[in-house]
């Protein structure tokens, strides 16, 4: 197969390289089976790059990411680099990539797989079959709005200020991502803000409504206030298909939704940029977990979130829906075979290492491809 798609792998620190190792195995398998072949390269980020290159991410790595069709990121950070100044923090790598690549739409799926249904703190009947996609605007809103800061008032008190700001174009571009995703899913978008008390929320609602009517009449659009959405996610999460929201509410709601599934080591994510004139869209895929320094080097990390991040990459960046679904099915089948890494261990299951879980996924892939 022509290796015409450029894929940059950035394993990072801690368990990043351990779980990325299992993904490299899946990529080799896809190539060996003539299913798909990519132009793959690798670079250092985070603490590993600070140690070897003196900075969390070099301009060359950023340029290579910009020139790639997709970036697969592991995790960065760890106690070794905790005491460095703010501009030398390993996390600067991911923030730089998001900014330099213009990645504004963060996609966080919250999916409950049947074998792990008991890992959720909610009742099985509430979360069985859960499949939500939260689209969070990730470069605007109150985390970036001006004015911001802390000022001293004439009476000596201090006042902290942050500003929620969204323009129509910022709202439209993230809403488009949500509408497009809904078309590939159940065809429903729920747009979330606080239009009852915030002008920026009212603009958000009006803008999403107008875009939906003009360009996505086939997608069912609903609106919900953020506080109600938090409640509904716990009360009846299966009512949602795609949720689209701003940076602040998305930060909170996506963490809430991911915990409905109960397992950090299982959850992938994507951050997408805007498509250019040719339709090419820069994108970065990563598990939502961090570098897990507490278990680094023990070979016990769960590689499934990283593997499922590859599945997202194939689906959303390369349009390879069947291959993505095959990887997702292989992860599910590995769990159904009764094995678990330590983080998702359950009574009656066999505890396995990172390598053993990776090998089980490969076995299932082999079976599915036969």
Q: Which residues are catalytic?
A: 143, 194, 227, 251, 255
- The yes or no reply on residue 268 touching ligand NAD (CB under 6 A) is no
Minimum CB distance to ligand NAD smaller for 94 or for 190: 94
- The yes or no reply on residue 138 touching ligand NAD (CB under 6 A) is no
Alpha-carbon span 174 to 138, nearest angstrom: 9
Q: Which residues does 358 contact at the CB level (< 8 Å), separation at least 6?
A: 21, 22, 25, 303, 307
Whether 211 contacts 179, CB under 8 Å: yes
Minimum CB distance to ligand NAD smaller for 130 or for 344: 344
- DSSP secondary structure string for all residues of 304-331: HHHHHHHHHHHHHTT--HHHHHHHHHHH
- The yes or no reply on residue 251 touching ligand NAD (CB under 6 A) is no
Instruction: Mark the segment that binds ligand NAD (CB under 6 A) among 32-40, 140-148, 298-306, 322-330.
Output: 298-306
Minimum CB distance to ligand NAD smaller for 79 or for 129: 79
- The yes or no reply on residue 291 touching ligand NAD (CB under 6 A) is yes
Minimum CB distance to ligand NAD smaller for 26 or for 190: 26
Whether 198 contacts 226, CB under 8 Å: no
Site pattern 209..248 for ligand NAD (x: CB under 6 A):
----------------------------------------
Residue 272 sits at φ, ψ, to 5 deg, of -110, 150
Residue 132 sits at φ, ψ, to 5 deg, of -110, 145
State the greatest distance between any 2 C-alpha atoms of the chain, in Å, as a whole number. Answer: 76
Minimum CB distance to ligand NAD smaller for 286 or for 328: 286
3-state secondary structure of 206: helix
Q: Residue 206: count other Cβ atoms within 10 Å of its Cβ.
A: 13
- The yes or no reply on residue 301 touching ligand NAD (CB under 6 A) is yes
Instruction: Mark the segment that binds ligand NAD (CB under 6 A) among 140-148, 172-180, 291-299, 314-322.
Output: 291-299
Residue 195 sits at φ, ψ, to 5 deg, of -65, -15
Residues of span 94-113 touching ligand NAD by CB under 6 A: 94
Residues of span 154-193 touching ligand NAD by CB under 6 A: none
Among 11, 25, 56, 77, binds ligand NAD (CB under 6 A): 77
Residues of span 5-34 touching ligand NAD by CB under 6 A: 15, 19
Instruction: Mark the segment that binds ligand NAD (CB under 6 A) among 54-62, 63-71, 173-181, 299-307.
Output: 299-307
Alpha-carbon span 51 to 278, nearest angstrom: 38
Bridge-based pairing of strands 6-12 and 220-225 is unpaired
Q: Which spans in the chain are helix H? A: 16-32, 47-53, 59-66, 92-100, 124-127, 168-184, 199-215, 226-235, 247-261, 304-316, 321-336, 354-369
Minimum CB distance to ligand NAD smaller for 47 or for 201: 47
Among 265, 268, 273, 358, binds ligand NAD (CB under 6 A): 265
Alpha-carbon span 274 to 104, nearest angstrom: 8
Residue 145 sits at φ, ψ, to 5 deg, of -65, 150
Among 72, 135, 305, 361, binds ligand NAD (CB under 6 A): 305
Among 252, 256, 264, 333, binds ligand NAD (CB under 6 A): 264
Q: Which spans in 133-284 are helix H? A: 168-184, 199-215, 226-235, 247-261
Among 27, 76, 257, 282, binds ligand NAD (CB under 6 A): 76
Among 136, 205, 289, 340, binds ligand NAD (CB under 6 A): 289
Among 78, 212, 262, 273, binds ligand NAD (CB under 6 A): 78
- The yes or no reply on residue 343 touching ligand NAD (CB under 6 A) is yes
Run of H or E including 244: strand 242-245
Among 125, 146, 276, 294, binds ligand NAD (CB under 6 A): 294
Q: Which residues bind ligand NAD (CB under 6 A)?
A: 15, 19, 75-78, 91, 94, 264-265, 286, 289-295, 301-302, 305, 341, 343
């Amino acid at each position: 197969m022509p290796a015409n798609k450029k894929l940059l792998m950035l394993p990072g620190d801690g368990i990043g390289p351990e779980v990325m190792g299992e993904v490299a195995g899946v990529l080799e398998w896809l190539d060996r089976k003539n299913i798909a072949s990519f132009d793959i390269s690798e670079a250092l980020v985070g603490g590993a790059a600070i140690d070897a290159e003196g900075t969390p991410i070099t301009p060359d790595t950023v340029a290579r990411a910009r020139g790639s069709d997709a970036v697969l990121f592991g995790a960065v950070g760890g106690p070794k680099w905790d005491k460095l100044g703010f501009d030398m923090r390993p996390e600067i790598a991911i923030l730089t990539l998001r900014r330099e690549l213009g990645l504004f739409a963060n996609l966080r799926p919250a999916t409950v797989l049947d074998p792990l249904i008991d890992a959720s703190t909610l009742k099985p009947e509430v979360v069985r079959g859960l499949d939500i996609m939260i689209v969070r605007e990730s470069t605007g809103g109150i985390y970036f709005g001006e004015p911001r800061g802390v000022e001293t008032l004439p009476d000596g008190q201090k006042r902290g200020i942050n500003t929620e700001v969204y323009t129509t174009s910022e709202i439209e571009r993230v809403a488009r991502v949500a509408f497009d995703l809904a078309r590939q899913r159940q065809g429903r978008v729920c747009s979330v803000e606080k239009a009852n008390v915030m002008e920026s929320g009212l603009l958000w609602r009006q803008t999403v409504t107008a875009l939906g009517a003009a360009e996505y009449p086939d997608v069912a659009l609903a609106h919900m206030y953020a506080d109600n959405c938090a409640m509904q996610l716990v009360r009846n999460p299966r009512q949602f298909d795609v949720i689209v929201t701003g940076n602040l509410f998305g930060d909170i709601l996506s963490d809430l939704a991911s915990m409905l599934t109960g397992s950090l080591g299982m959850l992938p994510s994507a951050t997408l940029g805007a498509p250019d004139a040719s339709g090419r869209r820069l994108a970065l895929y990563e598990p939502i977990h961090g570098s897990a320094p507490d278990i680094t080097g023990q070979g016990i990390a769960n590689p499934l979130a990283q593997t499922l991040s590859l599945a997202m990459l194939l689906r959303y960046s390369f349009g390879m829906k069947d291959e993505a679904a095959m990887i997702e099915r292989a992860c599910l089948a590995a769990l159904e075979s009764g094995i678990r890494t330590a983080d998702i261990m359950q009574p009656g299951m066999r505890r396995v290492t990172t390598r053993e879980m990776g090998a089980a996924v490969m076995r299932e892939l082999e079976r599915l491809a036969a």
